[in-house]
């Protein structure tokens, strides 16, 4: 079991002595008694985290559930900004012992998986789930396979849901009606399958979906579901009719990407979410130098299937290339893939990749915007190390994104969000004015 304190840097910055005293007290009064109860052994600690070995996966999950409940109870009398909240992950596998310490992929997977858990939540790996699914009084939500840093094979993961909370929530969930269909054509672009045979290429497949989604979203007459909603289906086998009902869309786009050497193959399939009928499908293949043309062809084909008589100006605007540098674009896609892992380490790595994309193409508006967005993530996660310097860098990147992307609603919206969240309001107002009447701030 791997556990980590959410927002540790923020807590330490606000009150270092008080935070350390609180963590010591929680360990003595909450963690250690639960470890003894469930036969756990702490074999490694860091300032904000702990790794624990158990005799069984059942013990580990039962301990994790009780630990989250105990931490929640201990927060009741504390101010909201002083709550100690944990992320927890449980994995099952062989380990190697050296003295009192343990090593191996089992430990590494638990530590990586923990960074993907929700604050106050618990994730279990597929191997752990297979052993405990009928032995503990909790429910599980399959969130699909997850690509973890420095782990060769994708790992299936499940959210742990307490049985009493599930029972209380079930009536409202059943009663909740599907969102109504918009009054214009609506579409969700589901995560494309990575058929490259290399988990490291997952970022490329996800990047293709992001680009196609953004291209479609630039069409004013088309309602496009945001990436965060569509990617909740990543790694899951779902009925497109269910997706249509849950997201409130009329059409669903599915597909796959295969990248081998300098060749890329993209397949797409447009489906009527109400009936499950296939409206269009095609295959696009070419060299990496043709990647933007391939994206354009996918977008144009989807658009053509939805509305044959489109304004040519709308199509042209949707297909505008974000950069002429393929190398910069590759770094940008890598950065997007890592950024969405939402951890301190991922944020640092994503920022370096976006900055590398900027070095290769200083006029790449989206790279500037996403680099600024990394500083938003750092502030939200409590990972800021030099507040004044990060404000300066955020302001520079966001202003540059606004200057370069005057016709790019996504770049402008991302830049505006970074300025509003990180930089002083007066500076934000001045920078946003650069975008003139083209500015579109999105949340």
The pLDDT tens digits of the residues spanning 361-388 come to 898 988 999 999 999 888 887 888 888 8
Q: Quick one: fold of 186-318?
A: Rossmann fold (3.40.50)
pLDDT bracket for residue 171 (50, 70, 90): very low
Query: Taking Cα atoms as reference points, which of 100, 107, 2, 4 lies closest to residue 43?
Result: 100
pLDDT over 90 percentage in the chain: 15
Q: What is the DSSP letter of 190?
A: P
Q: pTM (2 decimals)?
A: 0.41
Start and end residues for every CATH 3.40.50.10610 domain found in the chain: 186-318
Predicted confidence band of residue 89 (pLDDT cuts 50, 70, 90): very high
CATH 1.25.40.10 maps onto the chain at: 326-438
Quickly state the pLDDT bin for 183 (edges 50, 70, 90).
Answer: low
| CATH 3.30.70.1230 in the chain, residue ranges | 2-173
**Of 419, 421, 215, nearest to 316 (Cα)?**
215
CA angle 255, 257, 261 (to 5 degrees): 165
Q: Name the residue with higher pLDDT: 399 or 148.
A: 399
pLDDT at res. 164: 43
> Does residue 429 carry a pLDDT above 60?
no
Using only C-alpha atoms, the chain has a radius of gyration, in whole angstroms, of: 23
The pLDDT of residue 317? 46
Extract the tokens encoding 66: 């009780």
pLDDT at 305: 61
- Mark out the alpha helices in 340-386 (DSSP H runs): 344-360, 365-381
CATH number of 326-438: 1.25.40.10
pLDDT tens-place string over residues 10-42: 788 778 888 888 888 888 899 999 998 999 998
CA distances from 251 to 27, 96, 147, 225 (A): 51, 50, 28, 10
pLDDT at 442: 41
pLDDT of residue 311: 43
Instruction: Tell me what the pLDDT averaged over the chain comes to.
Output: 79
Q: Label residue 182 by pLDDT band (50, 70, 90).
A: low
Fold annotation for 2-173: Alpha-Beta Plaits (3.30.70)
Cβ atoms 258, 193 nearer than 8 A: no
Ranked by mean pLDDT, which of 69-78, 156-165, 218-227 comes out on top?
Answer: 69-78
How many Å apart are CA 228 and CA 165, to the nearest integer?
25
For residue 309, is pLDDT > 70? no
Arithmetic mean of pLDDT, 323-338: 82
The residue ranking higher by pLDDT, 299 or 330, is: 330
Closest to 298 (Cα-Cα) out of 290, 155, 36: 290
What per-residue confidence (pLDDT) applies to 304? 64
**Confidence at residue 307, expressed as pLDDT on a 0 to 100 scale:** 52
Tell me: pLDDT of 308 over 60. no
Cα 316 vs. chain centroid, distance in angstroms? 30
Residue ranges of alpha helices (H) inside 15-56 are: 16-26, 32-37
Flag the least confident range among 52-61, 104-113, 285-294.
285-294
Poorest-confidence range of 265-274, 393-402, 434-443? 434-443
Q: Is the pLDDT of residue 63 over 90?
A: yes
């Amino acid at each position: 079991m791997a556990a980590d304190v959410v927002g540790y840097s923020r807590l330490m910055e606000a009150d270092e002595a008080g935070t350390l005293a609180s963590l010591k007290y929680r360990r003595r009064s909450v963690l250690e008694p639960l470890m003894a109860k469930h036969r756990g052994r702490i074999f490694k600690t860091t300032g904000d985290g702990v790794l624990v070995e158990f005799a069984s996966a059942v013990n580990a999950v039962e301990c994790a559930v009780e630990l989250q409940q105990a931490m929640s109870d201990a927060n009741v009398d504390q101010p909201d900004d002083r709550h100690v909240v944990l992320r927890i992950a449980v994995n099952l596998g062989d380990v190697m012992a050296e003295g009192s310490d343990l090593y191996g992929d089992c430990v590494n997977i638990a530590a990586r998986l923990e960074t993907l858990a929700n604050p106050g939540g618990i994730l279990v790996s597929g191997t752990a789930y297979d052993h405990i699914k009928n032995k503990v009084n909790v429910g599980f939500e399959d969130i699909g396979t997850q690509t973890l840093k420095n782990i060769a094979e994708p790992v299936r993961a499940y959210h742990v849901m307490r049985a009493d909370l599930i029972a209380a929530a079930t009536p409202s969930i059943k009663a909740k009606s599907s969102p109504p269909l918009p009054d214009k054509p609506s579409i969700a672009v589901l995560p494309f399958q990575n058929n490259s045979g290399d988990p490291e290429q997952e970022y490329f497949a996800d990047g293709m979906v992001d680009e196609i989604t953004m291209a479609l979203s630039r069409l004013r007459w088309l309602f496009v579901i945001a990436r965060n909603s569509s990617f909740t289906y990543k790694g899951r086998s779902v009925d497109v009719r269910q997706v249509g009902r849950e997201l409130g869309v009329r059409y669903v786009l599915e597909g796959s990407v295969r990248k081998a050497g300098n060749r890329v193959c993209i397949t797409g399939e447009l489906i009527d979410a109400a009936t499950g009928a296939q409206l269009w499908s095609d295959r696009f293949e070419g060299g990496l130098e043709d990647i933007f043309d391939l994206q354009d062809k996918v977008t144009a084909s989807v658009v053509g299937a939805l509305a044959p008589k489109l304004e040519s100006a709308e199509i042209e605007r949707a297909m505008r290339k974000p950069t002429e540098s393929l190398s910069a674009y590759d770094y940008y896609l890598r950065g997007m893939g890592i950024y969405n892992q939402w951890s301190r380490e991922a944020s640092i790595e994503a920022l370096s990749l976006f900055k590398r994309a900027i070095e290769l193409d200083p006029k790449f508006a989206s790279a500037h915007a996403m680099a600024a967005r990394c500083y938003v993530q750092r502030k939200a996660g409590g990972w800021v190390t030099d507040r004044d310097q990060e404000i300066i860098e955020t302001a520079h990147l966001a202003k540059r994104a606004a200057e370069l992307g005057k016709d790019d609603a996504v770049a402008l919206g991302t830049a505006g969000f970074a300025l509003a969240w990180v930089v002083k309001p007066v500076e934000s107002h001045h920078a946003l004015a650069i975008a003139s009447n083209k500015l579109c701030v999105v949340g």
